[in-house]
Structure 1
Amino acid sequence: MQHWTTEMWQIAGFGFVAGAIISYLLLRLTKGSVKKQAQTETELQQAKQQIEKQQKLLEKHFAESADLFKVLAQDYQKIYRHLAKSSDELLPNAQKTLFLQSFMNSDKSTAETSTNEPPRDYKEGSSGLFKAEH
């Protein structure tokens, strides 16, 4: 076995101290990023939970709104039928019927038109906004 000189002990000591300092700095730097990463992860989970909660609330809101509109449409139909029936009974000599009989007898919520024409804004052709200029 060799005999260690003081210079060798000094180099080994400096190496140990330098390694300890570098290790401490690395741990210190990475510990902060680990904390930030964990914090970011929890914030992400909270944001996902909030989005899911808001989506559930929106679905519930629109389902309730659709039900209310359905009831409203049915009530309007009842009113329309009542007015049509009353106008026939109270104004039997009227030359012109004020209400459509076909709508009174139908169970549909809206009157349908049986035209196969395109919408008026497309009837005359395109407006030219997307045509290539020559």
Structure 2
Amino acid sequence: MSKIAFFLIDAGPKKTQVLKAIRDVFQLGYADIQEGVSASTPLVVRQLFDRANPDFPESLLGLLLRLNQLGATVATYQLLDHQCYDSEVKYYEITADRLRNAIATNRQSLAEQRFLSSLEGTD
């Protein structure tokens, strides 16, 4: 998985809590969030798995679960590394379950890479 595009479609009945939760994860101002919603543009487009911020996938998962509890409607789409978001293109939606599976797969892959690297040094 490469990049994600995150959209807030409708904040729902608990708008203040939703905006605060999004702001806490993405460090966006309220005006930026409201502008993205009104323009139907992604609030954030960024790498999902990034060495500079390895905790981001778990933070995004927590956000998706929290926003669901608050009654907000969001969409998170997968973009390939070379893609820019285009509203005319259909993208693969990343749900909380799919994200949870991607995180587990990434962890397993990293563990296997570490194991294989440790074997290379021993002959």
Establish whether TM, by shorter chain, passes 0.5. no
Higher relative contact order at CA 8 Å, sep ≥6: structure 1 or structure 2?
Answer: 2
Could you tell me the TM-score, scaled by structure 1's length?
A: 0.22
Which structure is higher in helix share? 1
Could you tell me the TM-score, scaled by structure 2's length?
A: 0.24
Which structure is higher in strand share? 2
